[in-house]
Amino acid sequence: MDRSNSDSLTVASCLQITDLPRTELRLLLSHLLQQSNSWLIAHDDYRLTSDQQKQWQTLIQRRQAGEPIAYVLGWRGFWDFEVKVTPDVLIPRHETERLVEVALEALTSQGVGSKPAILDLGTGSGIVAIALTRAYPQAQVMATDFSEAALAIAQENAQRLQASITFIQSDWLADLPTKLDDASMRFDLIVSNPPYIHAQDIHLQQGDLRYEPSSALTDGEDGLSDLRTIIFESKRWLKPSGCLWLEHGYDQGQAVRQLLEEAGYQSIQTHRDLSDHERVSGGIAPLSALTL
């Protein structure tokens, strides 16, 4: 008669916790039991083993404490695939799918053929590089990150998804392995979703962001310093008519266009995300870069 609730948990009772959304409870329980959502529906009287009950309590407590669901589950969907995520990498965002769409449109309109050379800077979990490689399986794709731990996750994701990508630890473009005068090392496309949140932005102290690596979210300055570095350093690494596309904050469109202009890029454009915010800006390699 002294049995606690946790001794007799069934699928149905697990899904009745009231302070978490039902969709999250389903995701967590599917993850724990390694069963599909339809299995859960058909087996609502399934009784969890005592081990599963303990693990369930831990998962629920982590989520109730505010840990992002992606870190509790250990994965997140992006584009048409799922990647492993840990607190070493940023959690993939829908906005970044816009970056991928814009990058793919750019490759099509450049007429690059089936083997473009692509560089993803600050790859994190590897999502942008992996999505582009799935569209262009024969592309030469290089992806960098400053964080060794992030690169290990990206590498694992790429391997599991059979995406052929060369990963390099680098401080933006500074540690790429070839000399600047090696024209064969230039890219048709450079993409990046760099840390662009202002160091003082209050959102860094809220929600999921509290748990994500701060070096992936903010440059520790005004949010534009990494964007600026990438814009100016990338010119030397782009082929003639190669292009650069960057994700940025909803209020940074004008500042990023101005930086691109100062750096000499051409055909500068900004694309909006699904919330109608300016989100992705870029342009074609400056003519002057060809003589560098």
Residues lying near ligand GLN in the complex (CB under 6 A) are found at 90, 92, 96, 122-125, 127-128, 193-195, 216
Surface-to-core class of residue 138, CB atoms within 10 Å of its CB (0-12 exposed, 13-18 middle, 19+ buried): exposed
Q: From CA 99, how far away is CA 273, in angstroms rounded?
A: 9
Element (H, E) at 192: strand 187-192
Rounded to whole angstroms, the Cα distance separating 12 from 45 reads 6
Minimum gap (Å) between residue 61 Cβ and ligand GLN: 27
Token digits of residue 253: 């469109």
Q: How far is the CB of 216 from ligand GLN (least distance, A)?
A: 3
Nearer to ligand GLN, 29 or 91 (CB): 91
- Residue 128 CB, nearest distance to ligand GLN (Å)? 5
The minimum distance between CB 171 and ligand GLN, in angstroms, equals 14
Q: Which of 167, 164, 170, 149 is nearest to 84 (CA)?
A: 149
3-state helix, strand, coil in the chain (%, to 5): 45, 20, 35
- Give least dist CB 159 to ligand GLN, A: 17
Q: 43 or 271, CB closer to ligand GLN?
A: 271
Nearer to ligand GLN, 92 or 286 (CB): 92
Which residue lies nearer to ligand GLN by CB, 91 or 259? 91
Instruction: Please say which residue, 9 or 127, places its beta carbon nearer to ligand GLN.
Output: 127
- Residue 28 is which amino acid? L
CB of 197 to ligand GLN, least distance (A): 9
CA dist 175 and 143 (Å) reads: 12
Q: What are phi and psi of 96, to 5 degrees?
A: -70, -20
- Residue 291 has φ and ψ, to the nearest 5°, of -95, 0
Nearer to ligand GLN, 11 or 154 (CB): 154
Q: Helix (H) and strand (E) counts for the chain?
A: 11, 9
What single letter denotes the amino acid at residue 215? S
> Do the beta carbons of residue 183 and residue 166 sit within 8 Å?
no
Q: Which is nearer to ligand GLN, 92 or 223 (CB)?
A: 92
CB 16 to ligand GLN: min, Å: 34
Residue whose C-beta lies closest to ligand GLN: 124
